[in-house]
Structure 1
Amino acid sequence: MALQPQSRWTQPQQGWGRAGALDQAVLDEGLRSYMLRVFNWMASGLLLTAIVAYLIASTPAVAELFYTTVRTPRGLATAPTILGWIAMFSPLAFVLALSFGINRMSKTTAQALFWVFAAVMGASMSNIFVIYTSSSIASTFFATSAMFAAMSLIGYTTKRDLTKLGSFMMMGLIGIIIAMVVNIFLASPAIAFIVSILGVVIFCGLTMWDTQRIKNDYIEHAYAEGSEMAGKRSVMDALGLYLNFINLFQFLLQFMGMRNQE
């Protein structure tokens, strides 16, 4: 049965005794275990995405199914095929399916959809291996990992309520999406540069907020270890962190990525 920390922590802290201390220790251990499971899911999804993206990019016969390569004054660029367009928009369909259908899904179904989503995301991102050098992709990935870890640690340890920060960052996210759509028609390097800077800031903030939200949700509900709810929630929480990482990586790549010249 799930712990109910709110009801067990009603006695004054000074008079807790061994029972209250035990409840706190059990909750802390459960929280650490749950957070580890969430980050393991996220890391596994990122690994699958990277493997799929690399395999597609390094196999010309498969890559041609998703995109064509053209030369521009700035270097190589890619244009998606019909299958490429499907791969680009499919991740959104999986996110919506998980977000709105999670309550009707079994734990196994949610986990399977997460794996498929990570693989499809790899297909949609495979063109970065054509546009950017492998060394710059690797250095950007490590920079993203360090930045993500720092922001997540702050979100986990801070005593400050980040709810307002999360709301502000979500509004900023809507703003940069609109700016990106507008810039498709304007093709302004200045707007693209500003959007990239704002994107890094916004997803750093969302990483802090999401980490604190996951922690607080567990403390409030204390999902029973191995339960159906714990399994589904860990997938959804991993999905949120995964999306933060991927978007942070893509915006940083705008600054750190070195383009292939041939």
Structure 2
Amino acid sequence: MNQNFTSAGSFQATQDRTILKNVYLWMTAGLFLTAIVARGFLVTGLYRNVMSNPLLMFGLIIIELVLVFRLASKINTMSVGAAITTFGVYAGLNGINMSTIFLMYNLGTITTAFVSTAALFGTMSLWAVTTKKDLSGWGHYLMMGLVGLIIASLVNMFLRSSGMSYLISYAGILLFTGLTAYDTQRIKNMSRSMSHSVDEGQFVKLSILGALTLYLDFINMFLFMLRILGRRN
């Protein structure tokens, strides 16, 4: 009887083991680490040194991009430890860059932007998980929108148009709102098909890759929200 009870418990644990649930745990851990690092640089005043050194900021951004591309392209060949470390280092470095927002926006604006982003992100994630609508067709248009947003942002670096910057920010929120829903449903479908068929190492690595995707959606949505709220203030 004890053996049957143990087997039933193991079976239930296996059924509860889903990539989607793990994705949100890793994403939350990444955001928490980013916040802790940003807070540390704020309290110590190191964020001012980062902001006053464009070369350092540019270098951090380049390193972050390298880490993202490495994690996205090499996840299957990386060890679990390397995948966790890469995600952690990226979240930490992003915290250093994020600490500079305290020089540009007041705490009230930052808090409002974060809460607004969390509410919007949570709503779209919940809708994507529960809706019966197939969002796979959104992918092509969202990628086109992302390319267009990047091009518009680069052009506005030279034009320095405040009006265009405002429009880009609204477009960015709309785009990453759509990406949040699209990516969430894609991860949900992957979770359904692979959660119980992969080994523990692959399970963790797929969870980290999904967490990185949603982490990027959240951070970008937050930054665009911050630009809009900051301008209004």
TM-score, normalised with respect to structure 1:
0.79
Q: Establish whether residue 45 from structure 1 lines up as the match of residue 18 from structure 2.
A: no
Q: Establish whether residue 85 from structure 1 lines up as the match of residue 22 from structure 2.
A: no
Higher relative contact order (CA 8 A, sep 6+): 2
Q: Establish whether residue 242 from structure 1 lines up as the match of residue 215 from structure 2.
A: yes
Between Structure 1 and Structure 2, the one with more strand by share is 1
Task: Give the superposition deviation at 1:113.
Answer: 0.7
Q: Match for residue 212 of structure 1?
A: 185
**Cα distance, 1:222–1:64 mapped onto 2, change above 3 Å:** closer
Q: What is the one-letter code of the residue matched to 1:109?
A: A
Aligned residues: CA RMSD? 2.3
Q: Establish whether residue 54 from structure 1 lines up as the match of residue 27 from structure 2.
A: no
Q: Match for residue 108 of structure 1?
A: 81
Q: Match for residue 50 of structure 2?
A: 66
Q: Establish whether residue 184 from structure 1 lines up as the match of residue 147 from structure 2.
A: no
Provide the rounded CA distance (Å) in 2 between the counterparts of 1:81 and 1:208: 34
Q: Establish whether residue 117 from structure 1 lines up as the match of residue 90 from structure 2.
A: yes
Q: Which of these two proteins has the greater Rg computed from alpha carbons? A: 1
Provide the rounded CA distance (Å) in 1 between the counterparts of 2:231 and 2:159: 24
Q: What is the one-letter code of the residue matched to 1:255?
A: I
Provide the rounded CA distance (Å) in 2 between the counterparts of 1:53 and 1:208: 27
**Cα distance, 1:28–1:106 mapped onto 2, change above 3 Å:** closer
Task: Give the superposition deviation at 1:30.
Answer: 3.9
What CA deviation, in whole Å up to 9, does each residue of 1:135-188 have, x standing for no partner?
110111011000000000111111111011122111101100000000000001
Q: Is the 8 A contact 2:169 2:225 kept in 1?
A: yes
Q: Match for residue 3 of structure 2?
A: none
Bigger mean CA deviation after superposition, 198-207 or 226-235: 226-235
Q: Establish whether residue 135 from structure 1 lines up as the match of residue 108 from structure 2.
A: yes
Q: Among 123, 128, 132, which residue is 1:150 paired with?
A: 123
Provide the rounded CA distance (Å) in 1 between the counterparts of 2:12 and 2:136: 26
Q: Is the 8 A contact 1:48 1:122 kept in 2?
A: yes
Provide the rounded CA distance (Å) in 2 between the counterparts of 1:222 and 1:40: 15
Q: What is the one-letter code of the residue matched to 1:238?
A: A
Task: Give the superposition deviation at 1:37.
Answer: 1.3
Long gaps (5+) in structure 2: 1-10
Long gaps (5+) in structure 1: 1-24, 69-79
Report the number of matched residues.
224
Task: Give the superposition deviation at 1:228.
Answer: 1.1
Q: Is the 8 A contact 1:132 1:259 kept in 2?
A: no
Provide the rounded CA distance (Å) in 1 between the counterparts of 2:37 and 2:219: 14
Q: What is the one-letter code of the residue matched to 1:254?
A: R
Provide the rounded CA distance (Å) in 2 between the counterparts of 1:192 and 1:208: 25
**Cα distance, 1:222–1:51 mapped onto 2, change above 3 Å:** closer
SS of 1:58's equivalent?
A: helix
Q: What is the one-letter code of the residue matched to 1:189?
A: S
Bigger mean CA deviation after superposition, 129-138 or 219-228: 219-228
Provide the rounded CA distance (Å) in 2 between the counterparts of 1:90 and 1:58: 24
**Cα distance, 1:126–1:257 mapped onto 2, change above 3 Å:** same
**Cα distance, 1:231–1:156 mapped onto 2, change above 3 Å:** same
What CA deviation, in whole Å up to 9, does each residue of 1:77-98 have, x standing for no partner?
xxx4322221222211110110
Provide the rounded CA distance (Å) in 1 between the counterparts of 2:195 and 2:131: 20
Provide the rounded CA distance (Å) in 2 between the counterparts of 1:28 and 1:178: 45
Percent of aligned pairs with the same amino acid: 39
Task: Give the superposition deviation at 1:254.
Answer: 1.1
Provide the rounded CA distance (Å) in 1 between the counterparts of 2:210 and 2:187: 7
Task: Give the superposition deviation at 1:63.
Answer: 2.6
Bigger mean CA deviation after superposition, 223-232 or 233-242: 223-232
